[in-house]
A and B are shown apart, each in its own frame.
Chain A
Amino acid sequence: MNYNWNWKIFFETSADGRHTWLTTLFIGLGWTLTTALCAGIIAFLLGSALGVMRTTPHKWAVKLGNAYVEFFRNIPLLVQLFLWYFVLPELLPNAIGGWIKSMTPPWASFVPAVIGLGLFTAARVSEQVRAGIQALSRGQGQAGTALGLTLSQRYRFVLLPMAYRIILPPLTSETMNLIKNTSVALTIGLFELTAAARSMQEFTFQVFEAFTAATVIYILVNLITVNLMRWIERSVAVPGFIGPPDVGGGGH
């Protein structure tokens, strides 16, 4: 096997004729992080709402939350993105569908990517939030009830503050998953980090340099994420509170 290593490739002009390949990779990283951040906000807010719904005494809310999770968990992310990108504009009334299709390039991919990743990740966040609330003893809720707190006050002041603290470690892996999953959006044309690395491979044939660079960037982003989340964990840690019960995480 004759492979010509060429690490200088990063400083050569990329396919767009303006930037170096290194800059191109970082532009990709910028899109990865922006997409992950926007989708993450949607996922956190919607996932929290769904997770809370699934622990309320209201049967209809539990069912609705469960149905959401089943739907978004049992369809591959790639297919979900196709649904948002290709299918949704066709199903909407002509005016809106046409407006979506006429969006200019980065946004035409970015918006469906954010929505798709956000709603997909919301299902996973809701699993964590539900588990976090259920990990608290029944007595905590009852103590709030006995003080006269209403259902929404119990969630706001008693249950959620502890539940979020407990699920911070699994939320860390969800955040890393989200950043990784952003790469799936390259299939609908989002020029994120993996897409940048792939374009570098295709134009220069320096497959391993591009792959190595992307891998190193992903690992660095991961390390930063982990440390950021650990810092958050430390700053909201409750003195004297002994380790929370184990809450399942994992997956992709």
Chain B
Amino acid sequence: MGGFDFNVIERSIGYLFREGMTFTLTLTGLAALGGIIFGTLLAMMRLSSHKWLSLPATGYVNLMRSIPLIGSPTPIQVGAVASSVITFTLFEAAYYSEIMRAGIQSIPRGQVWAGYALGLDYWQTMAKVVLPQAFRNMIPILLTQTIILFQDTSLVYVLSITDFLGAASKIAQRDGRLVEMYLFAALVYFLMSFTLSYIVKILQQKIAIIR
């Protein structure tokens, strides 16, 4: 079937990036920020010696990791955009918490004892001694997870939100140019993820050297 029209990309590129990519990146940023904060709290709960803290956190993480992101409604009706931010934050928190848990566990017990020995309390020890080190060690893995999140935001397509894929899809259907638009969308996602992964790889090597 001849007659592809790649000009459709040129015509819609402003819309694709100004509307679509802006939303994709905003959602990625908000969900990553919220997910890391909530995920860190979950990780601290899971590592707590109090069962009433660790059990619910473990249950939450396992639950979120066993259901598909695409099928979950938000608990409150707040409109498609806000609910996508909430859903992604709640989901990603489970994945980020696993990373932060590994990060916290990678810090030797002696660091915690040293903090307590100086007279710091739990929150001070966590905030000033353990978490900064854990966070720093885990930066490459947190970033890799964020690249996965960036790709997963395309799932808001099912909520008819105009993210990058949603924008491409709208143009594709309006102009009957599915082949051109979806190939272009794939190319853009590929280039962005590939570049970011490459940067993470370099960062990982740098951090490895410093350590």
Contact = CB atoms under 8 A, between A and B. Distances in A.
Contacts, number: 100
Nearest to A72: B190
A76 B154 contact: yes
B192 to A, nearest CB: 8
Interface in B42-72: 63, 66-68, 70-72
A215 B179 contact: no
Interface of A is mostly: helix
Contacts of B179: 86-87, 90-91
A34 interface: no
Contacts of A180: 66-68
Interface in A203-247: 207-208, 211, 214-215, 218-219, 222
A20 interface: no
A78 B145 CA distance: 17
A170 to B, nearest CB: 13
A41 interface: no
B189 A218 contact: no
Interface residues of B, number: 32
Interface string A66-86: 000011011111111011001
Contacts of B73: 201, 207-208, 211
Contacts of A194: 68, 70-71
A208 B73 CA distance: 8
A70 B194 contact: yes
Residue of A75, A83, A180, A251 contacting most chain B CB atoms (<10 Å): A75
Interface in B67-126: 67-68, 70-73, 95, 98-99
Interface of B is mostly: helix
B182 interface: yes
A218 B68 contact: yes
Contacts of A250: 95, 98-99
B197 to A, nearest CB: 7
Contact of B67 (A90, A94, A218): A218
A215 B67 contact: yes
B158 interface: yes
Given A79-B182, A83-B186, A186-B158, 11 more contacts: A73-B193, A75-B193, A78-B165, A86-B182, A90-B1, A180-B66, A184-B68, A207-B73, A218-B67, A222-B66, A252-B152
13 contacts: A75-B186, A75-B193, A76-B152, A79-B165, A79-B186, A87-B179, A90-B179, A176-B66, A182-B68, A183-B70, A183-B71, A208-B73, A219-B66
Give me the 5 closest cross-chain CB pairs, A-B, nearest first: A194-B71, A74-B193, A183-B68, A76-B151, A76-B154
